[in-house]
């Protein structure tokens, strides 16, 4: 993945609005059985775990996704194991301190299911699972904010991929696993502490980016609109 963790000791004076794209890169690893998927998960780059949990948010969908991660979708529709698919679908990556912990939980769930049913050891999927990793490409929009109240007008006009960068990918980049908006608001001291708490309490995983943008927009209006000139 493209960047290292950032420590929030010194929030920037200006908020630099950025956009991004995820570039999918083939790992060359393909699975036709649950055992093969389990073995590949132990060896593949951790950015592949990131891609198969979060990457789908940036893909256009004409209907609501049945599963939020690619592993659960493949187990259901490729291996036709509804029990394991449901267990994988319940995983929320925001519950784990890092991607390595999430990887271990994935492997543990597959191991547990393999222990439960002998048939899953020899069941071959109707379609193979291709493990893919992501490289994030970042674009500077040139837009800069200096006052917190500017977020009221900014958020509803942000692209979905910009929301992804500042609110979701920030969890990977920042040492505190937070979001860029809360980090920047720290520069104002305790003035927007309630807004930071509310932002930090948002779980962006079970939903889409449009819904997340609407949720953030409502928060900014509640906390900041009354301060606007």
Number of domains in the chain: 2
With respect to residue 4, please indicate whether it lies within any of the assigned structural domains: no
Q: Is residue 3 part of a domain?
A: no
Shared domain for 42 and 122, answered yes or no, is yes
Mean pLDDT of 212-228: 88
| d(C-alpha 83, C-alpha 106), whole Å | 14
User: According to the model, what pLDDT value does residue 64 have?
Assistant: 57
Per DSSP, the residues of 98-144 read: SHHHHHHHHHHHHHHHHHH-THHHHPPPSS-EEEEEEEEEEEEEEEE
Q: Are residues 110 and 150 in the same domain?
A: no
Shared domain check, 121 and 54? yes
pLDDT at 226 over 70: no
The phi, psi pair for 32, rounded to 5°, reads -120, -10
| 29 inside domain | yes
Which of 156, 134, 131, 133 is closest to 20 using CA atoms? 134
What confidence tens digit (pLDDT) does each residue in 171-206 have? 989 888 899 999 999 999 999 999 999 999 999 998
Which of 110, 133, 156 is the last residue in one of the domains? 133
Whether 29 and 129 map to the same domain: the answer is yes
One domain for residues 150 and 198: yes
Residue of 15, 2, 6 lying closest to 224 (CA atoms): 15
Q: How far apart, in whole angstroms, are the C-alpha atoms of residue 199 and residue 183? A: 10
Mention every residue, 6+ apart, whose C-beta is less than 8 A from residue 221: 152
Final residue belonging to a domain, choices 89, 105, 133: 133
Q: Is residue 80 part of a domain?
A: yes
How would you classify residue 135: left for phi > 0, otherwise alpha for psi between -120 and 50, otherwise beta?
A: beta
DSSP output for 118-129: THHHHPPPSS-E
CA atoms within 13 A on the CB side of 74: 21
Indicate if 127 and 29 belong to the same structural domain. Answer: yes
Least confident of 4-8, 80-84, 130-134, 139-143: 4-8
Question: φ, ψ for residue 148 (rounded to 5)?
Answer: -60, -40
- Choose the weakest-confidence range: 8-17, 50-59, 168-177, 192-201: 8-17
Query: Both 34 and 115 in a single domain?
Result: yes
Note whether 184 and 168 are same-domain residues.
Answer: yes
Last residue of a domain, one of 105, 133, 161: 133
Looking at the fold, whether 126 and 151 belong to one and the same domain comes out as: no
Give the DSSP per-residue string, 50-64. HHHHHGGGGS--SS-
In whole angstroms, give the CA distance from residue 187 to residue 190.
Answer: 9
Asked if 198 and 223 touch (Cβ cutoff 8 Å), the reply is yes
Q: How far apart are CA 147 and CA 201, in angstroms?
A: 23
CA 44 to CA 29: how far, in whole Å? 8
Q: Which domain holds residue 218?
A: 15-21+136-227
């Amino acid at each position: 993945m493209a960047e290292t963790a950032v420590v929030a000791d010194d929030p920037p004076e200006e908020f630099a609005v950025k956009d991004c794209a995820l570039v999918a890169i083939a790992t060359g690893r393909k699975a036709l059985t649950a055992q093969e998927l389990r073995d590949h998960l132990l060896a593949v780059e951790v950015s592949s775990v990131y891609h198969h949990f979060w990457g789908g948010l940036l893909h256009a969908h004409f209907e609501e996704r049945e599963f939020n991660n690619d592993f659960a979708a493949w187990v259901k529709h490729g291996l036709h194991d509804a029990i394991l698919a449901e267990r994988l679908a319940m995983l929320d990556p925001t519950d784990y301190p890092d991607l390595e912990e999430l990887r271990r939980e994935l492997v543990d769930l597959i191991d547990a299911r393999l222990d439960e049913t002998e048939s899953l050891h020899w069941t071959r999927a109707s379609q193979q699972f291709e493990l893919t990793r992501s490289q994030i490409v970042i674009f500077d929009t040139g837009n800069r904010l200096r006052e917190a109240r500017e977020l009221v007008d900014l958020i509803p006009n942000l692209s979905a991929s910009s929301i992804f960068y500042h609110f979701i990918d920030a969890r990977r980049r920042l040492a505190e696993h937070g979001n860029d908006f809360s980090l920047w608001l720290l520069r104002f001291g305790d003035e927007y502490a309630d807004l930071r708490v509310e932002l930090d309490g948002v779980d962006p995983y079970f939903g889409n980016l449009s819904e997340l943008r609407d949720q953030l927009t409502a928060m900014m209006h509640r906390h900041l609109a009354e301060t606007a000139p």
